[in-house]
Amino acid sequence: MAPPTNPYRRPAAAAAAVPRLQNGVSQSTMGPQSQRRLSLKERAHQLQASSHRKKHKTGGQQTLFGDRAFDPLKDCEVCRAKEYGRSVHRAHHERCVNNRRTRGFSNAALALANEEARLKRHFATPLSEAEKCRGEYATPEAAAAFFAPREGVTKIAGKITTTTTQITTTTQFAATVASESKCASEQFVSAAELCTAVTELVTDVDFLEKHKGNKAPMAMLAFASVVMKTIVRNNRVHTASHFDGLTITVPRADNSDNPQHHSIVGQKLLLVDWIMMYGLDNINCPCCKASSMENDRTNFSKNKILFPIFVMEGPPLWCMVQSMVCPCCRYRTDANVGELLCLLPAYARNSYPVETKYCFDNKNAHIGRTATTVLDLLMTTCGNGDLCSRLLYNAINRSYLERVENYYSLPTVIKKEGGALPYVDKDGGYITTYPPLGDGVRGSYDAACSSNNNPVAN
For residue range 266-300, list pLDDT tens digits in order: 999 999 999 989 988 889 898 888 889 999 888 89
pLDDT in tens, 202-226: 888 898 888 888 888 999 999 999 9
Cβ atoms 321, 224 nearer than 8 A:
no
List C-alpha distances in Å: 22 to 16, 37, 38, 419.
16, 12, 8, 100
Q: What gap in Å lies between CA 190 and CA 94, rounded to an integer?
A: 73
Closest C-alpha among 241, 217, 226, 242 to residue 194: 226
Q: Given a cut of 70, is residue 239 above it in pLDDT?
A: yes
DSSP 305-362: --EEEE-SSSSPEEEEEEEEE-TTT--EEETT-HHHHTTS-HHHHTTSSS-GGG--TT
Of all helices (H) and strands (E), which one includes residue 12? helix 12-17
Predicted pLDDT at 242: 87
Q: What gap in Å lies between CA 230 and CA 305, rounded to an integer?
A: 19
The alpha carbon of residue 338 and the mean position of all alpha carbons in its chain are separated, in whole angstroms, by 12
The pTM score is 0.59
Q: What gap in Å lies between CA 198 and CA 189, rounded to an integer?
A: 13
pLDDT in tens, 151-200: 655 444 444 455 554 444 444 444 444 454 444 446 788 888 888 888 88
Pairing of β 366-367 and β 307-310: parallel
Q: What gap in Å lies between CA 352 and CA 307, rounded to an integer?
A: 13
Burial (Cβ within 10 Å: 0-12, 13-18, ≥19) of residue 227: buried
Predicted pLDDT at 51: 52
